[in-house]
Amino acid sequence: MGKISGWRVLAGGILAGLIILIEQGLVSSRLLASVWQAMAKEGLVVGMAGAGRAITATLVIDLAVGILIAWLYAAVRPRLGAGLKTAIVVGLVTWLMVFLQYAAAYAWMPGFRPAVPLSALGDLFGYLVGAAVAGWVYAERGEGAPGRRSRQGVALGNARARRR
């Protein structure tokens, strides 16, 4: 097992976090705009005038989650193997942990219930794409993108198969 490359984790994590942030922004501003406006009228959420702090907090949290996704990918890839499958597993596990936390909290708040399914599906897409990009950035030299094997990787895989 090799050492985890902090720079690759950071680079992949920042990209993954930005992808998640963009996805959440698009879902909130396009698909859920009417839901948020209705909740703002009822006083359940702040309107756009007071959203600056919420957007800043979301940016910080999404970047932290992106870095966590990249680090988890780097940590489990020796066990699960490098590639898209591992990135999908990491994205799915991370999304599930985050989704269960906020869905359980929002299930008790009737005003938020309409936002949960669309937000959850959008986040699932963002987490999976973010994890795939983080895995692609984390790829070791000569590996190429996740899901592709270098000649050296194929040779190692063939040698392992012959030993079995």
Q: What is the pLDDT of residues 87-142, one digit of tens each?
A: 999 999 999 998 888 877 877 777 777 788 888 899 999 999 999 999 999 986 55
Instruction: Identify the residue with better confidence: 32 or 17.
Output: 17
Is a pLDDT exceeding 70 seen at residue 33? Answer: yes
Cβ-Cβ contacts under 8 Å for 114 (sequence gap 6 or more): 35
- Residue-level pLDDT at 141: 58
Q: Are 65 and 20 in contact (CB under 8 A)?
A: yes
Q: What whole-number percentage of the chain has pLDDT above 70?
A: 80
- Over residues 60-86, mean pLDDT: 95
Note the pLDDT of residue 155.
Answer: 46
Higher pLDDT, 75 or 32: 75
Q: Work out the pLDDT band at 162, boundaries 50, 70, 90.
A: low
What is the percent of the chain where pLDDT is above 90? Answer: 45
Give which of 15, 7, 6 is closest to 126, Cα–Cα.
15
Q: Find the mean pLDDT for residues 158-162.
A: 51
Q: What is the pLDDT of residue 30?
A: 85
Q: What is the pLDDT of residue 18?
A: 97
Residue 22 C-beta-side C-alpha neighbours within 13 Å: 10
Which two tokens mark 111? 């005003």
Residue-level pLDDT at 160 = 52
Contacts (Cβ under 8 Å, ≥6 apart) of 54: 46
Q: Which residues, 6+ apart, have CB-to-CB distance to 33 below 8 Å? A: none
